[in-house]
């Protein structure tokens, strides 16, 4: 499938400039949040949730003004598939990397939320000082975690369609698109 095919077979849901504005607004909220005296003199440990969070993390970091160290973790329910399965950890943080630290999880999408919730729960078990999460997109539907878990910071909301671009893939491809697309209905 070529880029021309994509443009003919999909709907553009959110354009690049709107995404850039949302990322800048999220960065402002995070900058304000981490300027609180609770975090004075501390650096934040940001974890990019691979692979989907890579695009968003890169864009977001350009606008952050607080000290942070960047790490990554890799847990997925999707692989190259379009439907989730059991959580598969490929790279997980060590307890020493989390204990007593201020953690920020950065991910592309909060769809059914099971992956981010599982990551959040595992990180919490290792007693960080604080843990927050930020996602670029929250998909609007009722299939969210029964626990009520939700990210602390959300950039955009999208309708309940299979979306890709801005880090989200279609069968392992097209994470690099700077806008968010969905196949025509």
Answer for the pair 15, 165: CB distance below 8 angstroms, yes or no.
Answer: no
Query: What is the model's pTM?
Result: 0.92
Q: For residue 168, what is the enclosing H or E element? A: none
The per-residue pLDDT for range 80-139, each reduced to its tens digit, is 554 555 778 899 999 999 999 999 999 999 998 989 999 999 999 999 999 999 999 999
What residues form DSSP beta bridges with 48?
72, 106
What would the two tokens of residue 159 be?
């309708």
Return d(Cα 173, Cα 158) in angstroms, integer. Answer: 20
Q: For residue 60, what is the enclosing H or E element? A: helix 53-61
Q: 102-110 and 88-91 as β-strands: parallel, antiparallel, unpaired?
A: unpaired
Owner of token pair 């602390």: 152
Domain over 16-35+43-158 is classified CATH 3.40.50.2020: yes
How large a percentage of the chain has pLDDT more than 90? 77
pLDDT of residue 1: 78
The per-residue pLDDT for range 138-168, each reduced to its tens digit, is 999 888 888 999 999 999 999 999 999 999 9
Answer for the pair 119, 52: CB distance below 8 angstroms, yes or no.
Answer: no
Q: Which of 7, 5, 2, 47 is nearest to 179 (CA)?
A: 7
Answer for the pair 9, 181: CB distance below 8 angstroms, yes or no.
Answer: no
Owner of token pair 């992956």: 115
């Amino acid at each position: 499938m070529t880029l021309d095919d994509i443009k003919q077979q999909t709907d553009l849901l959110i354009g690049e400039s709107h995404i850039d504005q949302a990322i800048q607004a999220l960065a402002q909220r995070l900058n304000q949040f981490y300027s609180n005296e609770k975090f004075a003199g501390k650096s934040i440990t940001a974890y990019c949730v691979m692979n989907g969070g890579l695009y968003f993390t890169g864009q977001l970091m350009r606008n952050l003004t607080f000290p942070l160290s960047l790490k990554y973790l890799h847990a997925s329910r999707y692989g190259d598939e379009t439907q989730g399965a059991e959580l598969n950890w490929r790279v997980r943080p060590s307890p020493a990397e989390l204990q007593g630290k201020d953690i920020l999880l950065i991910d592309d999408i909060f769809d059914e939320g099971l992956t981010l919730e599982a990551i959040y729960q595992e990180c919490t078990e290792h007693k960080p000082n604080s843990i927050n999460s930020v996602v670029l997109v929250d998909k609007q539907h009722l299939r969210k975690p029964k626990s009520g878990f939700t990210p602390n910071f959300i950039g955009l909301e999208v309708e309940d369609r299979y979306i890709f671009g801005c880090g989200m893939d279609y069968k392992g491809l097209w994470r690099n698109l700077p806008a968010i697309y969905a196949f025509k209905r």
